[in-house]
């Protein structure tokens, strides 16, 4: 008998630069709206933000996912559409990278 297949965890990686004159607003948006929404979504296990000491983009966020399919769930789709605040900031994002990964080794 074979061992049951283990669900493979996922990772969401987002890197962003922001136009300097919007940096303070970007960080406030992240703290007050964007990050709390993601942390409240079932299947997003945790999240962390980083600031580049060298290289870029300047901001990095990592989200551990129960599985990559979390990003297709109805709960995530409710928060995925841009809010009014997000729409105001989007034109000022620079060098945005968003990648989804699946774990290949625990």
Q: How far apart are CA 42 and CA 44, in angstroms?
A: 6
Instruction: Please tell me the total count of domains within the chain.
Output: 1
Q: Can you say whether the dihedral through the CA atoms of 66, 41, 36, 58 is positive or negative? A: positive
Phi/psi for 46 (5° steps) reads -170, 170
pLDDT tens, residue by residue, 73-89: 999 999 999 999 999 99
44 domain-assigned: yes
pLDDT tens, residue by residue, 9-53: 999 999 999 999 999 999 999 999 999 999 999 999 999 999 999
106 domain-assigned: no
87 domain-assigned: yes
The structure's pTM equals: 0.90
Is 29:85 a contact under the CB 8 Å cutoff?
Answer: yes
Q: How far apart are CA 69 and CA 8, in angstroms?
A: 10
**Cβ neighbours, 10 Å, residue 53:** 6
- CATH (domain of 19): 3.30.70.100
């Amino acid at each position: 008998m074979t061992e049951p297949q283990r669900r493979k965890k996922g990772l969401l990686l987002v890197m962003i630069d922001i136009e300097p004159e919007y940096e303070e607003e970007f960080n406030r948006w992240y703290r007050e709206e964007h990050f709390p929404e993601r942390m409240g979504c079932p299947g997003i296990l945790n999240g962390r933000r980083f600031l580049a000491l060298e290289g870029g983009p300047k901001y990095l966020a990592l989200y551990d996912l129960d599985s990559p399919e979390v990003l297709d769930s109805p709960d995530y789709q409710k928060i995925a559409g841009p809010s009014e605040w997000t729409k105001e900031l989007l034109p000022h994002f620079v060098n945005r990278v968003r990648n989804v990964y699946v774990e290949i080794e625990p």
